[in-house]
Amino acid sequence: MATTKKTTKAARKGLEDLFLDGLKDLYYAEKKILRTLPKMARAAESEEVTAAFEKHRIETEGHVDRLEEVFEKIGRSARGKTCPAIDGIVEEGSEVLEEYEGAPALDAGLVAAAQAVEHYEIARYGTLIAWAEQMGKRDVADLLNATLKEEMATDEALSRLGEGGVNERALQQAA
């Protein structure tokens, strides 16, 4: 069996390469989310949902800053890599905006779309933290963990919005 250039190149890739790819993926995702949150805030019907999106936009600016600091710590340029997963999740959120504009269920749909984003980010940050720790990059893991905690808090806040009335209002108004 002949060894191809692609196989040889792939054989040299290790955890640091995987970590860098994941970091680029998250950088792209955070920047995309940063562009999407104002649209979601404007579209929301309730002030509480609007406020949640505006708060998360400010936090997301900090997430981008932290990722840029991580890139600096590992001696790399802050650069994103197209992330089909976040593109798909954001596209689903855009569909909610289009299909439910003016509908009683809009805010519930926006909250659900935002939670899908949060769950993706939580999974990615958790993985990158584990890899950073495995590679002995405690300072990098600490930065990523600060963002992970904020993402988890946002997810909890979104759950409270849903459970605190957004979902119920969508049900009652549609009846």
Q: Above pLDDT 90, what percent of the chain?
A: 83
Residue 5 is predicted with a pLDDT of: 58
Tokens found for residue 138: 């405690």
pLDDT at 11 over 90: no
Q: What is the pLDDT of residues 49-104, one digit of tens each?
A: 999 999 999 999 999 999 999 999 999 999 999 999 999 999 999 999 999 998 98
Q: Above pLDDT 70, what percent of the chain?
A: 92
pLDDT at 153 over 70: yes
CA 22 to chain centre: 12
Instruction: Give CA–CA dist 171/149, Å, rounded.
Output: 31
Q: Tell me the fold of 14-174.
A: Ferritin (1.20.1260)
Residue 12 is predicted with a pLDDT of: 84
pLDDT at 1 over 50: no
Assign 131 to helix, strand or coil: helix
Mean pLDDT of 9-28: 91
Contacts of 168 (CB under 8 A, 6+ apart): none
Nearest 5°: the CA angle 149, 26, 143 is 40
